[in-house]
Amino acid sequence: MNPLNTVNGTIIAGVVLAVLIGIVNGFALNELSLIVWIHVLSGITWIGLLYYFNFVQVPALAEAASDEGGPGGAGITKYVAPRALWWFRWGAVVTWLSGAAALLRLGLFDDALMLGMNTGGGVGFLIGVGAWLGTIMLFNVWVLIWPNQKKILGMVEATADEIAKARRVAFLASRTNTLLSIPMLMSMVGYGHGGFII
C-alpha cells in the first residue's frame, strides 16, 4: 500500500519520517516541541490557504466570471472552496490553540497578552504582537469570512444584495488577514530567532 495514494497516508508518512529524522539526530520529542510542531504545521495550512484564496482563487474567479462562454467558476465554488474553507478555518483554530498552549508552556502567556508591558517589553512584546495579530485574524475567519462565505457559496439563503454585501465583507476581511499575516509572521519568526528580521 502506497501512503501517497491518500492525503491521510501522506500526512502519516510525513509525521513518521519527521520523527525518525529527529530520533536519528538525537532530538527528544517533548511536550513543547510537539506543541510548536503542531503550531507550525497548522499555521502553514492556515496562512497557505489564506494566500491561495487571495493570490490564486479570487483573481481566477474574477477572470472566469468575465470570460464569456468560458467554463465559469462553478466547479471551484461548488467543490474546491467549501473544502478549502474547512481546512482554512480549522487550521486557524488549531494554530491559535497550539500557539496559546506553547505560550502557556513557556510561561509567556501573560507577558504576550500584555505585550511585554508587565515585564518591560522584550520577547513579550515581540511574541505578543504576533499573538494579538493572530487573534484578530482568527476573529476575522470565524466572524467575518466564514459566515459571509456561506452566503456567497449558497450554503445559507441570501438575497442578491446580501450576497453582494457578503462578498465585500469577506473580501476585505481576507485582505486584512493577508496584510496582518506579514507582521504576524515576522513577529513569530523574530521571536524564534531572537529579534525582528529587517
- Residues 62-109 have pLDDT tens digits of 898 888 888 888 888 889 999 999 999 999 999 999 999 999 999 999
- The domain locations on the chain are 30-192
Strand, helix or coil at 107?
coil
| Side-chain half-sphere exposure of 150, counting CA atoms within 13 A | 11
pLDDT classification of 198: cutoffs 50, 70, 90: very low
pLDDT classification of 185: cutoffs 50, 70, 90: very high
- Residues 9-54 have pLDDT tens digits of 999 999 899 888 888 877 767 888 889 989 999 999 999 999 999 9
* CA atoms of 140 and 136, how far apart (whole Å): 6
- Residues 96-125 have pLDDT tens digits of 999 999 999 999 999 999 999 998 778 889
Predicted local confidence at residue 71, as pLDDT: 83
pLDDT classification of 195: cutoffs 50, 70, 90: low
pLDDT classification of 196: cutoffs 50, 70, 90: low
User: 113, 131, 107, 121: which is closest to 188 by C-alpha?
Assistant: 131
User: 80, 81, 91, 66: which is closest to 151 by C-alpha?
Assistant: 81
